[in-house]
Structure 1
Amino acid sequence: MAKTTRRTWIPDQHGAWAMLAVPFLAGTLLAPRPGWTHALLFGAWLLGYVAVFHGQQWLRLHARGLRSAGRHVLPALVSGAAFAAVGVPLAVLHPWLVPAALLASPFVLVNTHYARRGRERALVNGLAAVVPACGMLLVAARLGGLGPAGAWPAALACLLYFAGTVPYVKTMIRERNSRAYRTGSVACHAAALVVAVLLSPWLALPFTAYLVRAAVLPGRGLKVPVVGAVEVAGSAALLVSLPLLF
């Protein structure tokens, strides 16, 4: 029963969890004054994701007239209410969180549009999801006393990495036979390496590794859990690097 409940309530988009956690934690670690409000904001951030996920899944299935849409209603309502219970007091304490959330809304609308059409796996949809996730580094940093001027290089490094994972993962799974995707993925990683080195020469280490994996691993028939493990390692390397370098 517990496993069934987890499957029903917890989104199964495994790659999304690293994208939700790494920028936020990096921003918290970069901040000179991390505090208990970071824990509350992190909870609100995860609850908001869960609520939006179930809302979008309901919309996708409902648009096709499928009765299975109903299973997403309760998780969406409960997680949405929990998000409000945590998020509203935070917004009262820190009113600037409201315009920060509004800046993310266009990207959420893009994701909702693709969800309604049943095209969540579209490249543009994946890239749209990356932007507000990496923007949370700026939010977490500011909550701890570090302004955008000091946090943007780390946020850009996150954006470079997670944007690159979108085409790369496709070359490993859904587009494993696409030469165009492989070429595009390698080109994106090469460009990301150049920009990352301009941010910090030490970023050449992880971003070279990201480029190598994008060039070498596709076509080798790796199992999905192995692909996921490689990405966990890549995310961990980024999380360790950013507080040390910025």
Structure 2
Amino acid sequence: MKKQRLVIPHEHGGWAMVSVPFLLGMFVINPWWVHIPLFLAWFFLYLATYPLLQAVKRKSSRKSLIKWAMAYGSVAALCIIVPLVQFPELFYFAPVFIFLFSINIAYVIRRKERSLINDCSAILIFSLGAAAAYLVGGGGWDKTMVVLVLFSFMHFMGSAFFVKTLFRERENKRWHIYSKIYHIGILLVPILIGFLGMVVPYIFSTIKAFVYGGKPMKPSRAGIIEIIGVVQFLILSLLFLN
């Protein structure tokens, strides 16, 4: 009997995006034990979306992929019970998630997964983890929740621009310009909304965009740079938001 392979996402950036915004929202407020089942629910929901999106593309293995999605989704559903009992307001995130995820599905159907709009939708979904963690920690539907989502989104969109200029759009000079404009913009946004210190976590991203954007680079080296970038973003963001 052929051994079935574990179906998990292969994009390393996804692992950072599912965890870092959540950690940011959790540590900026008040970490406690309910964050554990909430994160497990969030993590397994992320795992469930991968085979589900793959099932849209791959008819030959659709049945197996749907089974994997249902298995991961079942674990997520079990893990979310306690957080939902404690915080029924978490239900409010469901329509937003469904809407954004439907955009991802639409782009997969059209075979345009690398579209910037699709990236925006996926990154915004991940950034909602910061809002959920903040809410469970005792936060409200306030300005801090909004900026947690915004700052997470800004960082990972910067990564999306950077990676595109390294690989798929390396020969496209317009993308290099877009990336540089974007990275200048993320230095200005914190100032404009009254979070001057939050300029600091984006300095690394802006420097790498100008120094390495458009230049040949091995995926492994790009991955190391991205890991350094996301770790410093988390640490410095917590420093300036607390």
TM superposition score normalised by structure 1: 0.90
Contact 2:56-2:62 within 8 A present in 1 as well: yes
Task: For residue 224 of structure 2, give the secondary structure of its aligned residue in structure 1.
Answer: helix
Deviations 1:181-225 (A, max 9, x none): 111011111111111334433333332221121112023311001
Q: Is contact 1:108–1:129 with CA below 8 Å preserved after alignment?
A: yes
In structure 2, distance between residues paired with 1:92 and 1:79:
21
Q: Identify the residue that residue 234 of structure 1 maps to in structure 2.
A: 229
Q: Equivalent residue for 2:46?
A: 49
Alpha-carbon distance between aligned partners in 1 of 2:195 and 2:56, rounded to the nearest angstrom: 43
Residues 73 and 103 of structure 1: CA distance in aligned 2, closer, same or farther (over 3 Å): closer
Q: 1:7 to 1:170 in 2, by over 3 A?
A: farther
Q: Which runs of 5+ in 1 are unaligned?
A: none
Query: Aligned runs of 1:77-226 on 2, under 5 Å?
Result: 77-147=70-140, 148-198=142-192, 199-226=194-221
Give the direction of change, closer, same or farther, for the CA distance of 1:5–1:109 in structure 2 (3 Å limit).
Answer: farther
Post-superposition shift, 1:228? 1.1
Question: Does 82-91 or 185-194 show the bigger shift?
Answer: 82-91
Aligned-residue identity in percent? 28
In structure 2, the CA distance between the partners of 1:226 and 1:11, relative to structure 1 (3 Å rule), is same
Change (3 A) 1:184 1:201: same
Supply the distance in 1 between the matched residues of 2:184 and 2:4 (Cα, whole angstroms).
39
- Which residue does 1:35 correspond to in 2? 32
Distance 1:129 1:5, change over 3 A: farther
Sort the Cα spacing of 1:217 and 1:101 in 2 relative to 1 into closer, same or farther, 3 A: same
Cα distance, 1:25 vs structure 2: 0.3
Assess if the C-alpha contact under 8 Å between 2:201 and 2:237 holds in 1: no
> Could you report, residue by residue, the CA deviation over 1:9-39 in whole angstroms, capped at 9, with x for unpaired residues?
211121111111111001100113x211101
Kept in 1, the 8 Å contact 2:29–2:137? The answer is yes
State whether residues 60 and 117 of structure 1, in contact with CA within 8 Å, keep that contact through their aligned partners in structure 2.
no
SS at match of 2:233: helix
- Provide the aligned C-alpha RMSD in A: 1.9
2: CA distance, partners of 1:163 / 1:5: 38
For the residues of structure 2 that align with 1:205 and 1:84, how far apart are their CA atoms?
Answer: 38
SS at match of 1:244: helix
**Matched-pair contact (CA < 8 Å) for 2:34–2:82:** no
